[in-house]
């Protein structure tokens, strides 16, 4: 199996490579430190599996997964992250990820996860499986509008529900006001609402940011 490692932390990449290269059936063909670089490496290296972090600069792992699966349906993506946040889990699965593992997973189980997805199965960390069962049981209200948003857009929408101005959000998120405005325009389009007030009301009504 040809494996591409994607994580914005070098120590994680080195640790994964150190373990996986000891496995005779696994070939580490490359590494990337953000989603955009991952897309370039996928085109160049054509891996069988991409081990993908979620929170990264330039392009997050969920967006990268969407692009990979759209262009290369046969390539399997396993999310490997420290985040068990439901705002990441469901979008990752809907983006086409074949597995979702947390970074505390036993290395041998990670290898089993890769074998499983190559066999056409889904591989989920036990904590993630339990979370999804709870989600189904409670009937949590998620809809397509939420899942269409990027991680940054969700972050900004959350701050909109707090009643923050563009200037306040820019300061908190360490981005420019122009960038905030660009994200808000995208949010309104994806949610099919007229203004930020409607967006906030919709998000609150559907409990998008409740813990």
Where residue 174 sits, what CATH number does that domain have?
A: 1.10.10.10
What is the domain-level CATH number for residue 12? 3.40.50.2300
CB neighbour class for 100 (10 Å; exposed up to 12, middle 13-18, buried from 19)? buried
Asked if pLDDT for residue 204 goes beyond 60, the answer is yes
Do residue 112 and residue 201 come from a single domain? no
88 CB-side CA count, 13 A: 20
Domain assignment of residue 45, given as a range: 2-138
Q: Helices in 31-141 by DSSP H: which ranges?
A: 35-45, 61-71, 86-95, 107-118, 126-138
Per the domain annotation, does 190 fall within a domain?
Answer: yes
DSSP SS3 for 4: strand
Do residue 20 and residue 82 come from a single domain? yes
Do residue 95 and residue 162 come from a single domain? no
Question: Which of 98, 119, 109, 121 lies closest to 52 in space, CA to CA?
Answer: 98
Per the domain annotation, does 57 fall within a domain?
Answer: yes
Average pLDDT, the chain: 89
How many domains are contained in the chain?
A: 2
pLDDT of residue 194: 85
Cα–Cα distances (Å) from 134 to 70, 84, 86, 173, 199, in that order, read: 29, 13, 11, 31, 27
Per the domain annotation, does 78 fall within a domain?
Answer: yes
Which one of 138, 159, 194 terminates a domain? 138
Do residue 10 and residue 56 come from a single domain? yes
Chain segment 30-81, per-residue pLDDT in tens:
999 999 999 999 999 999 999 999 999 999 999 999 999 999 999 999 999 9
Do residue 73 and residue 130 come from a single domain? yes
Do residue 161 and residue 134 come from a single domain? no
Do residue 157 and residue 129 come from a single domain? no
Do residue 102 and residue 153 come from a single domain? no
Which one of 108, 138, 168 terminates a domain? 138
Do residue 84 and residue 20 come from a single domain? yes
22: its two tokens: 């000891």
Per the domain annotation, does 210 fall within a domain?
Answer: no
Do residue 126 and residue 63 come from a single domain? yes
Which one of 80, 113, 138 terminates a domain? 138
Range with lowest mean pLDDT among 19-33, 109-123, 143-157: 143-157
DSSP SS3 for 125: coil
Q: Contact at 8 Å (CB) between 195 and 188?
A: yes
Distance CA 1, CA 50 (A): 10
pLDDT of residue 141: 47
pLDDT of residue 201: 84
Q: Which of 87-91, 104-108, 110-114, 199-203 has the highest mean pLDDT?
A: 110-114
Per the domain annotation, does 113 fall within a domain?
Answer: yes
Do residue 130 and residue 45 come from a single domain? yes
Distance CA 25, CA 142 (A): 40
User: What mean pLDDT is predicted for residues 190-207?
Assistant: 85
Q: Contact at 8 Å (CB) between 160 and 196?
A: yes
Asked if pLDDT for residue 161 goes beyond 70, the answer is yes
Do residue 56 and residue 156 come from a single domain? no
pLDDT of residue 210: 67
């Amino acid at each position: 199996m040809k494996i591409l490692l994607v994580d914005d932390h070098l120590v994680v990449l080195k640790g994964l490579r150190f373990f996986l290269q000891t496995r005779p059936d696994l070939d580490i063909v490359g590494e990337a430190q953000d989603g955009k670089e991952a897309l370039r490496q996928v085109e160049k290296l054509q891996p069988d599996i991409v081990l993908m972090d979620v929170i990264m600069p330039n392009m997050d792992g969920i967006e990268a997964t969407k692009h990979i699966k759209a262009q290369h349906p046969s390539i399997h993506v396993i999310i490997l992250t420290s985040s068990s946040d439901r705002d990441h889990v469901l979008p990752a699965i809907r983006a086409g990820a074949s597995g979702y593992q947390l970074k505390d997973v036993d290395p041998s189980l990670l290898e089993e996860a890769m074998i499983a997805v190559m066999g056409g199965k889904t591989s989920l960390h036990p904590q993630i499986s339990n979370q999804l069962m709870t989600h189904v049981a409670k009937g949590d209200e998620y809809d397509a509008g939420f899942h269409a948003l990027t991680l940054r857009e969700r972050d900004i929408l959350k701050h909109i529900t707090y009643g923050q101005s563009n200037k306040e959000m820019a300061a908190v998120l360490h981005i420019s006001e122009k960038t905030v405005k660009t994200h808000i325009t995208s949010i309104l389009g994806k949610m099919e609402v007229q203004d930020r007030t409607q967006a906030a009301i919709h998000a609150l009504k559907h409990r998008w940011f409740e813990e």
